[in-house]
Amino acid sequence: MAKKVTKVVKIQIPAGKATPAPPVGTIFGPLGINLQEFCTRYNDATRDKMGDIIPCEVSVYEDRTFDFVLKTPPAASLLLKVAGIQKGGVKGANDTVATITKEQLRQVAEIKLPDLNTNSIEQAMKIVAGTARNMGIAVKGLNDAELALQAEEAKEAQVEAAKLEESLEMMEQEAKAMAQAEVPEVESTEQKDQSEE
């Protein structure tokens, strides 16, 4: 008779570095599974993928035993690794922080293919390219027109900023000149009226 699953937990841990400390202990401690056994099995299974974050789906049974299935690393962490950056752009697609080649995109798509809802490498590349775009990572040969447009916009913005700076400087000089020029005293008409009375 098959064991009854009481809970399915999804967790992402750096490969080969699971320890009974949080987050592993915090998540699995209340479920009553053997933390040391989980960590040992997970670390043995992911030792060859050191440096990656490996998602894991853990099925906990009634008798407090467990089984787990390893997934492929998140596309975002693979893209960061390939692009050689620490984090993606703050403004997403509007802020290009790195550029990767189509070949690098294909490598990431091949790794992710088993977890994607497609069997086509071309479709997988489109899915991963969408993730890259949202992270501010452009793909040479795929986003070339977009990159050229962004470069043009950046140049225009720089020219506008220079013009603005120049006009502000001129206004400042005019203001200084006006302040330094002698202002003749002007008698108020109200004073005259009062003195006539």
Helix (H) or strand (E) run with residue 9 in it: strand 5-14
Over residues 52-77, mean pLDDT? 86
Over residues 115-123, mean pLDDT? 84
Q: Which domains does the chain have, with CATH numbers?
A: 5-70 (3.30.1550.10), 75-142 (1.10.10.250)
pLDDT per residue as tens digits for the range 132-142: 888 888 887 66
| pLDDT for the residue numbered 142 | 61
Q: Name the residue type at position 53.
A: I
pLDDT bracket for residue 92 (50, 70, 90): low
Query: Does residue 191 surpass a pLDDT of 60?
Result: no
pLDDT bracket for residue 184 (50, 70, 90): low
| pLDDT for the residue numbered 183 | 57
| pLDDT for the residue numbered 153 | 62
Query: Does residue 196 surpass a pLDDT of 60?
Result: no
Q: What is the spatial distance between Cα 23 and Cα 71, in angstroms, rounded to a whole number?
A: 18
| pLDDT for the residue numbered 152 | 64
Residue 108 CB contacts under 8 Å (≥ 6 apart), including other chains: 75, 78, 79, 82, 128
| pLDDT for the residue numbered 154 | 61
Q: For all residues of the chain together, what is the average pLDDT?
A: 79
